[in-house]
């Protein structure tokens, strides 16, 4: 089986396993987040796993850059990522996203034993990511601006004047209609 077939099968499995699980979030068909721990738990953390084009033959990109993790020190993040990287090496060549999420859930207490919440603003130096050196730059996708369809552009142009501004009174209520309906109620 090719990498794409493996990814499709794993994607289907992840969707069925985590259906209705509030901790799981599919960011894209090749990128997933999982919150380890409950909301409000000071030792909860968020793991993001992104697949490369050749995953599962090559390791996925594991990240803890989410804003949710701002109270975790960089040493603890590095430690968690190192332990997850060890698990990746063991499971290389097989579907491992579910395995990594479950491994993190099972070892949450061990991962967070040295955790002391940081309450000050987090500096850029605390942003950590583990990326494999053989990851091709083509695997990163560029974000596109949302494009309007012709119909949406036409509708917008019809509502605005030549400067792109809405005409005066565009959201006013027709007073005559209101006075007519109000007079019927009086009778």
Enumerate domains of the chain plus CATH numbers.
3-112 (3.10.110.10)
Q: If you ran DSSP here, which 8-state letter would residue 140 be given? A: S
For residue range 164-187, what is the model confidence (pLDDT) as tens digits?
Answer: 676 677 666 666 666 666 555 554
Q: How confident is the model at residue 124 (pLDDT cuts 50, 70, 90)?
A: very low
CB 15 within 8 A of CB 30: no
pLDDT at res. 119: 57
Least confident residue range of 12-21, 114-123, 128-137? 128-137
CA separation (Å) from 60 to 51, 75, 92, 101?
5, 21, 9, 13
User: Among candidates 30, 28, 66, which has minimal Cα distance to 47?
Assistant: 66
Q: Which of 2-11, 47-56, 69-78, 131-140 has the lowest mean pLDDT?
A: 131-140
What is the spatial distance between Cα 97 and Cα 90, in angstroms, rounded to a whole number? 13
pLDDT of the residue at 158: 73
pLDDT > 50? residue 114: yes
Q: Please give the Cα distance from 59 to 90 (Å, whole number).
A: 10
pLDDT tens-digit readout, 58-82: 888 988 888 777 888 888 888 888 8
The distance between the two most distant Cα atoms of the chain, rounded to a whole number of Å, is 82
Can you give the pLDDT at residue 42? 77
**Higher-confidence residue: 136 or 75?**
75
Pick the more confident residue, 169 or 88.
Answer: 88
pLDDT band, residue 21 (cuts 50/70/90): confident
**From CA 21, how far away is CA 131, in angstroms rounded?**
27
| pLDDT at residue 141, rounded to an integer | 53
If you average pLDDT over residues 88-114, what whole number do you get?
84
């Amino acid at each position: 089986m090719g990498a794409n077939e493996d990814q499709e099968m794993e994607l289907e499995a992840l969707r069925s396993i985590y259906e209705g699980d509030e901790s799981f979030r599919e960011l894209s068909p090749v990128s997933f987040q999982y919150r380890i721990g409950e909301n409000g738990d000071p030792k909860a953390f968020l793991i993001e796993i992104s697949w490369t084009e050749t995953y599962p033959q090559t390791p996925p990109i594991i990240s803890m850059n989410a804003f949710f993790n701002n109270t975790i020190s960089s040493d603890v993040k590095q430690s968690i990522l190192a332990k997850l990287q060890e698990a990746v090496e063991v499971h290389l060549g097989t579907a491992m996203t579910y395995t990594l999420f479950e491994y993190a859930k099972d070892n949450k207490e061990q991962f967070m034993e040295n955790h002391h919440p940081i309450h000050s603003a987090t500096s850029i130096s605390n942003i950590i990511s583990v990326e494999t050196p053989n990851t091709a730059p083509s695997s990163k996708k560029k974000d596109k601006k949302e494009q309007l369809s012709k119909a949406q552009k036409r509708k917008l142009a019809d509502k605005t004047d030549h400067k792109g501004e809405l005409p005066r009174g565009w959201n006013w209520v027709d007073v005559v209609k209101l006075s007519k309906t109000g007079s019927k109620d009086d009778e």
